[in-house]
Amino acid sequence: MTQQGVRWTADQVLALAPDAASRKAGSKLGAAGPWSEAGSTDEGTVWGLCRGSGSRPYRTVIDIADSTGPAYKCSCPSRKFPCKHALGLLLLWAGEDGTVPRGQVPDWAEEWTEARKKRADDKRAASAAGSPASGDPEAARRRAERRAEHITAGAAELEQRLADLLRGGLATAEQAGYGLWEETAARMVDAQASGLAARVRELGAIPSSGPGWPVRLLEECALLHLLDQGWLRRERLPDGLAATVRSRIGLTGSADGPPVRDHWLVLAQYDTSDSRLTTRRIWLHGAESARPVLLLSYGAAGRAPELALPVGLALDAEVSAYPGAGQLRAALGEQFTPPAPTTIRPPGVSVAQAAARYGEALRDDPWLDSHPVTLGRVIPTPDGDTWQLADADGELALPLTPAALSGSGLWRLVALSGGTPVTVFGECGHRGFTPLTAWPEGPGEAVSLC
Amino acid sequence: MEGTHMNRTPTPTDTVSTDTASADASGGSRWEELVTAALLGTARRTPSGIPAGREAPTALLDAAAVETVRRRAGMRPGRAAARVEPAPADPRPLLPPAAARRLAMLLADRPGTGGGSGGRRGSAPDLMELLPQWLATANRRGFAPRPEALPSLLDAARGRTDLRPAVLAFAGPRALWLARLNADWRFALRSTPGGGAALPGPGEPDRIRELWEEGLFAERVALLSGIRARDATAARELLATTWATERAEDRLMFLDSLRTGLHAADEPFLERALADRSRNVRATAAELLSALPGSALAGRMAERAQSCVAVDHTQGTPTIAVEAPHECDPGMERDGVLPKAPAGRGERSWWLGQLVEAAPLGTWSRRLGGRTPEEIVALPVADDWQGELHAAWCRAAVRQRDPSWSRALLGVPAAPEAGGPGAVSLAERAKLLGTLGAAERADWVAGFIAVHGLSEAFQLLGVCTVPWSGPLGRAVVDALNIARDAGSYPWSFSGVMGLAERCLDPSEAPHLETLTAIPDEPENAAPGAGSYWAESFQRLVTTLRLRAAMQRELEEE
């Protein structure tokens, strides 16, 4: 597939912004006024000079074809990433009004792209030559063993705390509040079991989560217990399930699955953040393999993760899976084309099939909260105070999750549908369905809902 | 985990994570037993079926884990709620892609959607201010928005009432469909009569009659104005059918809607309204009649006014002599003259003003020796009556939309007393300009700015057609340039700058490039003013380019 003349939409560009203020500042720079000597190549390099408040214009250059998502370089002092100049330049480029013509990369921009290419080549050469020597394998094995011992001690301690809780009754958890769980979570961090720590922290919030909390608390305690037990007996589990347990505990393996090359459609991208970390989730769909893939990327609190792929575009690339049965996480490998518009859409299923898919996925990973599914021909339908996605051709419907009801995405979905069938990609789980992206019934671009 | 797939347990799916009454008795009651035991604690309640050698809490957790996964895996969709009626079709063509992207950018700049950019405006354009222009062009071209843009459009209109009519016209039928589903957008239903139901067309007399007789007040006003716009006589006749039974406030509003398409055939109806019980209705009827130069009322007023104003030839130069009325007789009152003067005004001059304002302007030429309006305005007026008389003629020229009198009263824009003798205020000048053609208006304001500068031009610029004509645009830019060279700060002109960004013809942008450089500061200039001016001009140029791009995108097919 050729990349000639394919540019992004403003929404796709604005999705790269690290925060709302940058989005706004970038929009304002997306006009010809302050820009000069701007240009682009079909290989995905975009550059330009932006007049700011100083005497010398800022030099902005972007490589949209980089294998880890768009890369940016700007001579401005901003610590935002990408900065407003990069966003403005991309908007200008997306606008296709002739102010960013195809052209020859100027020297100052080429210097940077060449340096990047060289670094990437070096890295590839290094990884091809085997992992960098990090001490002898014997020492690594001993470290892993020590860590496993810590985790085992942590899991045993957690089992004790859960047993104490159940002996005294969940009703006591309501009075105990966050303190008890924060302390236990800290102990799990000490035990180097980040997965356990995160689950424990979530337990602390359940007693104040409204009606029905005892049921939810019991469910989560039981699944935590299941995870503890899985860890303590991991030697007796099938390999795939053991790997899933390890990854759920917090021992992330490396993405060493065989590389799968495909045309990957970017289905959705959204960020969640807590006080320490911003986590970006990107869902891909393989046009040929029909595989769903999850890319994760992290940024420090308040900063956007580096990897960004605009929703609705597709890229020819390789991905490698992380270990674990039913684990959809993968790492993006080599990228053969920059992300470009596509007419590929994921095939849709009925709401009954979607619920069944989630049920089946639980067989490989019982700790799974939801599973990526594309619903075909569903109609967003109000149901009292909530909304559901109802089969256009049947009588069944999936409720939306409470979180999906509060955002602006719901109304974009309802507006797109107008009471008629749409295709909706989202996460289907025990709390309901979270819509992330939708397509109109007829031809039309993907509409991001998150 | 084996068997979970085979033994699907139907669970309630309206809230899939809580268990209320399960259809599967065995699975449901087992889970409930576990929840009860967990709540109370195994020290008080031991669940049944604990395998030997397992402590009660651990056994409870084992069983709960199995049940939890079983329940989740067995989740089934629920029954679909009643479907909503699909949104009515929108026959307009969709926005071209580039224009749709532009709209997304304009809407992304809404206050409250981004971090604090308040305070100084810098060199970036004010995108939200371009939205009205964008909407007007899109509406003129008859494009429909992409449905997914409707929520942002409705939110924008919710925050800014001035945008509502244009946004709702552009947003179309699907926006009203949406507004019925979201309480935040109820304003859209209120602003659109009949909640978006189309007004009856000319071929639907029964629906018209039904809506007129049974509709809400706002619906009836909309109906009457709608009919008046396409068939003035039909509207008046519709109003006449229920006139006698309407409440006074409603009569006033309905009468007001006859302003559109006012013509001689309305006279008998308006004459009857002169005898209305309500004084406000009488005054409005009189005002409308006086705007019909051939009406009997206009004739009566002309007669009264003429008896007060004459040319006195006894002096060396012909002079206008004024003899204000000595009383407000019942006939005058019936014709809408208010007898009681506001505090601080003499009764006689108050009555004179009303008579002259309501008299057809055409009568003066005959009365004052065949003179043209210019000649009449140029005549000296005896005994300090000039202010009163000219002000009344100004009001008459605006009411009767008389360009030749307006022209005469405005005078030459370069005149030292700033384009209007006597008491002609900026607001009145702006109104007089409104009666002239667009080109003449622009030329007059351009001439005014060339001589008097920008400090008083804001209101006058406001009545000029957008985009500004070449001469007007150049006059504004020259005046800004002069203000800069004079060393003042640009924010003294921020109102005019803002207007220029929205109203200058985008094709002027290339001529402005040279102004965006930071000039050498003259000796007496305000410190730093030069770079602020450069920034302001840069924003002006950027905004003009943006507007040019906006127009281009909307001209595409």
- Average the pLDDT over each of A114-123, A149-158, A179-188, A349-358 and give the range with the smallest value: A114-123
Same-domain status, A376 and A406: yes
Q: Do both A337 and A423 map to the same domain?
A: no
A334 and A441 inside one domain? no
Q: HEC profile for B2-62?
A: CCCCCCCCCCCCCCCCCCCCCCCHHHHHHHHHHHHHHHHCCCCCCCCCCCCCCCHHHHHHH
Check pLDDT > 90 for residue B187: no
Write down the pLDDT at residue B21.
36
- Residue B450 C-beta-side C-alpha neighbours within 13 Å: 15
Whole-number pLDDT of residue A68: 62
Write down which residue in A249, A281, A308 finishes a domain. A249
Question: Does residue A2 sit within a domain?
Answer: no
Do residue A31 and residue B148 have CB atoms under 8 angstroms apart? no
CA dist A423 and A405 (Å) reads: 18
pLDDT for residue B40 is more than 80:
yes
Question: Is residue A220 included in any domain, yes or no?
Answer: yes
pLDDT-derived band at B5 (thresholds 50, 70, 90) equals: very low
pLDDT score, position A178: 67
State whether A359 and B78 contact (CB < 8 Å).
no
* Per-residue model confidence as pLDDT tens digits over A65-91: 765 667 888 888 887 778 888 888 888
**Contact (Cβ atoms closer than 8 angstroms) between residue A170 and residue A218:** yes
What is the Cα–Cα distance from A106 to A126, expressed in whole angstroms? Answer: 30
ipTM: 0.80
Domain edge (last residue) among A291, A312, A341:
A341
| % chain A with pLDDT above 90 | 45
pLDDT of A284 strictly over 90: yes
Domain assignment present for residue A26? The answer is yes
Q: Are residues A208 and A162 in the same domain?
A: yes
**Residue among A250, A207, A249 at smallest CA distance from A227:** A249
Distance from CA of B7 to the nearest CA of A (A): 11
Residue B421, pLDDT > 50, answer no
Residue identified by tokens 């960013």 is A100
B35 contacts on A by Cβ (under 8 Å): 214-215, 218
Predicted confidence (pLDDT) at residue A128 exceeds the cutoff of 80: no
Q: Are residues A361 and A322 in the same domain?
A: no
Q: Report the SS3 class of residue A426.
A: strand
Does A420 fall in a domain? yes
For residue range A215-264, what is the model confidence (pLDDT) as tens digits? 999 999 999 999 999 999 999 999 999 999 999 998 888 888 899 999 99
The pLDDT score that the predictor gives to residue A378 is 97
CATH number, domain of A422, equals 2.40.50
User: What residues pair up with A63 in beta bridges, in sequence order?
Assistant: A45, A71
The answer to whether residue B15 scores a pLDDT higher than 80 is: no
Does any domain span residue A179? yes
- Of A226, A249, A272, which one is at a domain's C-terminal end? A249
Domain hosting A437: range is: 351-448
Q: Is B82 on the interface with A (CB under 8 A)?
A: yes
Minimal CA separation from A409 to chain B, in Å: 9
Same domain, A154 and A230: yes
Q: In a mutagenesis test of the B interface, which of A414, A428, A450 is the best target, namely the one with the most B β-carbons within 10 Å?
A: A414
**Residue A126 buriedness (CB in 10 A; 0-12 / 13-18 / 19+):** exposed
Least Cα distance to B128 among B503, B411, B543 occurs for B543
Read off the pLDDT of each residue in B101-107 and give the average, rounded to a whole number: 87
The 8-class DSSP code of residue A67 comes to: B
Q: Residue B149: pLDDT above 80?
A: yes
Q: Rounded mean pLDDT of A385-395?
A: 94
Q: For B249-289, how does the pLDDT look when each residue is reduced to its tens digit (9 = 90+)?
A: 889 989 988 988 888 999 999 999 998 888 889 989 998 99
How buried is residue B253: exposed, middle or buried, by Cβ count under 10 Å (0-12/13-18/19+)? middle
Q: DSSP string of A94-126?
A: HHTSSSS-B-PPPHHHHHHHHHHHHHHHHHHHH
The mean per-residue pLDDT over the stretch A390-411 comes to 93
Among A12-21, A45-54, A138-147, B505-514, which range has the highest average pLDDT?
A138-147
Tell me, letter by letter, the H, E, C secondary structure of A294-315: EEEEEEECCCCCCCCCCCCEEE
Is the confidence at residue A3, as pLDDT, over 50? no
pLDDT at A17 over 90: no
Confidence of residue B8 (pLDDT cuts 50, 70, 90): very low
Tell whether the model's pLDDT for residue B223 goes beyond 60: yes
Q: Give which of B36, B72, B127, B167 to mutate to test A binding, by max A Cβ within 10 Å.
A: B72
Residue of A51, A383, A415 lying closest to B148 (CB–CB) = A415
Dist CA B392 CA B337 (whole Å): 14
Q: A113 to chain B nearest CA, in Å? A: 29
Instruction: Write down the pLDDT at residue B136.
Output: 92
Per the structure, the count of domains in chain A is 4
Computed over every residue of chain A, the mean pLDDT equals 87
In a domain, A254, yes or no: no
Q: Is A38 in the same domain as A121?
A: yes
The pLDDT tens digits for B291-347 are: 888 899 999 999 999 989 888 888 788 888 888 898 888 889 888 888 888 888 888
pLDDT confidence band for B192 (50 / 70 / 90): low
Within 8 A of A22 by CB-CB distance, chain B residues are 115
Residue B41 sits at the chain A interface (C-beta within 8 Å): yes
pLDDT single digits (tens) A179-224: 778 888 888 888 888 899 999 988 888 888 888 899 999 999 999 9
For the CA atoms of chain B, what is the radius of gyration? 36
Calculate how close chain B gets to A321, using CA atoms only, in Å. 24
Minimal C-alpha gap between A450 and chain B (Å)? 13
Residue A4, in any domain of the structure: no
Q: Given CB atoms, is B182 within the 8 Å cutoff of chain A?
A: yes
Using alpha carbons, list the distances in angstroms from residue A18 to A22, A297, A302: 7, 13, 8
Show me where the domains of chain B are located.
1-74, 205-292, 293-423
User: What integer pLDDT is reported at residue B522 of this predicted model?
Assistant: 61
Q: Would you state the pLDDT for residue A418?
A: 95
